Structure 1
Amino acid sequence: MRTERPSRHHGGPNARTRALLVFTAVGALLAALLHDPGAPVAGRPVAAPAGTSSSAPPSSRHTAEPAPAPDPCAVKAAALPLRARLAQLLMVGVDPRGAADALRVVQAEQVGGIFIGGEDTGLLTGGLDAVRAAATLPLVVAVDDEGGRVQRVDALDGSLPSARRMAEGMSPDQVRAVARDRARALRARGVSMDLAPVVDTSGQPDRTVIGDRSFSPDPAVTAAYAQAFAEGLHEAGVTPVLKHFPGHGNTSGDSHQGAVTSPPLEALRQTDLVPYHDIDRYGRVVVMLGHIDVPGLTGGRPATLSAEAYGLLRGEFGFTGPAMTDDLGAMRAVTDLVDLPEAVRQALAAGADIALWSSGGRTGEVLDHLEASVASGSLPLARVDEGARRVLGAKGAC
């Protein structure tokens, strides 16, 4: 049997064909790479984009921004039942002779604040501890103690000069000390808020509606003394209330007696509104709006019921704390227009966070009306939530 020897040639027709095919494939690969180095090529893994991993899509490489922490006061307000939220927006006058009336309104409706007016001092000499203990959330206890004609504890703790007399005879440092001493006396009696200082500018006679309740007709002087008074209150733990935005110092009359009109808005910018600039200088305060029609701003309505007035306070003056109404139950500038429950609704809907009525009573009726107003949409729930958030924050409840 004969065995064939291997050929010495490897270049026969089959080998040449294979070589040609290989040459053609290599040429195509080189051309593709020269044209687009990043183009996919059969048999080669696709490169991941720069800065990413080939094991995950690019979007998974980016960490989402953390969500902002929720406002604890907004969370706490939202957790309250609607009626309880609404009740936090009310400051109701109580009988000053003793604790019985205040206990009743706090236990029944858990209002956010009580106001102690009148001449009797019984509730200020005992009983407030029991009233506070009846509240499930911190309770604001407010009085009206400016000095001069508007004082609350003068029979108990001595008389204060009027704002005008303070500015005429004392330095701002002395006024700060006077306010601090007064606030210590108020705090010892259970009071946590003083509806003072007045920041209206007025040169009117002493016994007019503002008159000597104003530190000065000069806005700079008024601001300096009001700041000193507010600082003194703060030092003893009492919350100041600046009043009466947008300005009652040069109105046509007394809003206790009927409708009043101030000078036009542009004139107020040179007088009563000046002390509200740089409002943070006063520290944490409440601002009270007056029942004042301001031409060019409120359209014939009292500022307390005017969304434009609250908008001015929040926008131009940048105030973020609680806004409060003047008395909705005993001042004819409002009571001649609308009954109390509807006045409270209109004030809250316009932008108030605290609705005050010194006459007391009718709390359940007011809350019934407010609940119905939320249901009908005439009092937006967002407005209620905003007000409750500010009130809870201002009294350290969250």
Structure 2
Amino acid sequence: MSAPTRRPRRSRLALAGAAAVLALLTVPAPGAQAAGSAPAPPLTGENLGPDRLPGCAAVVGSMTPRERLAQRLMVGVDAADPAATAATVRTTQVGGVFIGGNATDLLRDQELRAVQAVARIPIAVAVDDEGGRVQRIDELDGSLPSARAMAARMSPDEVHRTAAERADRLLARGVTMNMAPTVDVGEQPAGSVIGDRSFGADAEKVTTFALAFAEGQRERGLFTVLKHFPGHGHANGDSHRGRVSTPPLAELRELDLLPYANLVGPDGPLSSREGRDRTGVMVGHLDVPGLTDDLPTSLTPAAYRLLREDYGFDGLVLTDDLGAMRAVTGRFDLPEAVERALAAGADVALWSTGGEVAPLLDDLEAALAAGRLDAGANDTAVQRVLSAKGVCGRS
């Protein structure tokens, strides 16, 4: 993509994100690190001292309502069309893009640098690179084993090293966020909706291997996302195809929710400590007796309260795909689903299906003005989004 002939004036927000831009543009290629040496920290102001990043409250306070709402959207893009991706970011200034499918054009030849260049605030570039059936750079950088295979054949230390090496490759291609690891607990058949995407049926084993995977990627500077809260491993179907139910909440607490309790609570190893956001949680589209009523978890305020209050998680929370999963699309069109998810407590609404973003932002602005979206909660969510991208620091 050719550079614009006229350089736009840099705003205060662009300056606030300059440190994060440096991080995205200076990641070494795979193999650049000397053998046996410790990985260099990401090049951000945070690593020069906490005073080098502006406070998130001040940054958000300088943004317009539309700019704030745009940061809460993660839009699916066509990886075969880098120019269209750049156009979407330039015209809407969304907070993130999600790269799914099998095309790899956007992940080649540093195409994502051109996308970052048109963003006034650095965007989150997300993939779901779990391994096995769900991975995105296998054609470019080799295949990653499934979670089940890793747990069966590797030690936690080996998983840690494997995940760190994979993070190097993702970062070198411009990816900043991985929707992995899966912390669903279960022993479904390998090819079922979760199946071999799970590390196993034992919650302690899932916790151990998920921690090894996440820490390996976090240490290299890649943001990780645990999924699918509150637990898809014992659900009675596939939420891609329709509404599904899990065991009652009381049973989930005894098994499926244990990895979250152990990993992301206030004292957990993947928690958000001192505003240092490195791991998020994805909320699934699940019907949970004792928690949900007529809506799936992704659209239910009680599900977000469970995560925030009962499990003490203060980091970034995203929805599962709102645009291509029948558990949601069977009842709601995309604009309504996005508004409901944000109002319920999601920081970020994710959808893979792309489409026109500007009309959706118009609807969200109207919802904010009318009070259907709480202004204070909206600002808090935007602070989490920006902190997760290294743009600012939360106190």
TM bin (shorter chain): 0.7 to 0.9
Question: For residues 353-391 of structure 1, what are the alpha-carbon distances to aligned partners after superposition, in whole Å with 9 as ceiling and x for unaligned?
Answer: 010001111211210110111111111112211110110
Q: Distance in 2 between matches of 1:335 and 1:381?
A: 27
Of the three residues 261, 281, 289, the one matched with 1:287 is 281
Q: Which amino acid aligns with 1:135?
A: A
Tell me whether 1:197 sits opposite 2:185 in the alignment. Answer: no
- The answer on 1:342 being equivalent to 2:336 is yes
1:393 Cα deviation after fit: 1.1
User: What is the TM-score normalised by the length of structure 2?
Assistant: 0.82
Sequence identity (%):
56
TM-superposed CA distance for 1:299, in Å, is 1.3
How do 1:297-376 residues align onto structure 2 when only pairs under 5 Å count?
A: 297-376=291-370
Contact 1:348-1:383 within 8 A present in 2 as well: no
Alignment of 1:397 onto 2:381: no
Which amino acid in 1 is paired with 2:153? G
Q: Does 1:92 align with 2:92?
A: no
Q: C-alpha distance in 1, partners of 2:381/2:388? A: 11
Q: How far apart in 2 are the matches of 1:282 and 1:165?
A: 23
**Aligned counterparts, 1:139-150, within 5 A:** 139-150=123-134
The one-character-per-residue Cα deviations of 1:274-302 (angstroms, maximum 9, x if unpaired) are 00113131252010000001100011311
For structure 1, the 5+ residue unaligned runs are 1-70
Q: Which has the larger radius of gyration?
A: 1
Task: Give the partner amino acid of 2:304.
Answer: Y
Partner of 1:110: 93
Distance 1:230 1:296 in 2: 30
> Which whole-Å deviations, capped at 9, do the CAs of 1:261-282 have from their partners, x for residues lacking one?
1100001011110001131312
Q: Does 1:79 align with 2:73?
A: no
CA RMSD in angstroms, aligned pairs only: 1.0
Distance in 2 of aligned mates of 1:138 and 1:130: 12
Aligned to 2:275: none
Aligned twin of 1:123: 106
**1:288-342 Cα deviation digits (max 9, x unpaired):** 0000011000113111001000000001111011100000000000001111011
Within 5 Å, which residues of 2 pair with 1:108-187?
A: 108-126=91-109, 127-187=111-171
Q: Would you say the 8 A contact 1:258–1:333 is kept in 2?
A: yes
Question: Structure 2: which amino acid aligns with 1:359?
Answer: T
1:275 counterpart SS class: helix
**Inter-partner Cα distance in structure 2 for 1:207 and 1:282:** 29
- SS in structure 2 of the partner of residue 115 of structure 1: strand
User: Larger deviation: 370-379 or 188-197?
Assistant: 370-379
1:209 aligns with 2:193: yes
How many Å apart are 1:392 and its aligned residue? 0.8
Distance 1:282 1:371 in 2: 33
- 1:21 maps to none
| Matches of 1:308 and 1:223, distance apart in 2 | 24
Instruction: Compute the displacement of 1:82 (Å).
Output: 0.4
Structure 2, unmatched stretches of 5+, are: 1-53, 272-277
Shift of 1:136: 0.7
**Code of the aligned partner of 1:82:** P
Deviation of 1:129 (Å): 0.5
Alpha-carbon contact 1:88-1:111 (below 8 Å) kept: yes
Q: 1:272 and 1:281 mapped to 2: Cα distance?
A: 18
Cα deviation, 1:146-195, whole Å, max 9, x if unaligned, reads: 00100100011111111011101110000001101111000000000000
Residue by residue, what CA displacement relative to the aligned partner does 1:91-140 show, whole Å, maximum 9, x if unpaired?
Answer: 00111013111111111011000111111100000311111011111111
Aligned length: 328
Following superposition, which runs of at least 4 residues in structure 1 exceed 3 angstroms of deviation?
none
SS where residue 281 of structure 1 aligns? coil
The higher-RCO structure (CA 8 Å, 6+ apart) is 2
> Match for 1:118: what amino acid?
G
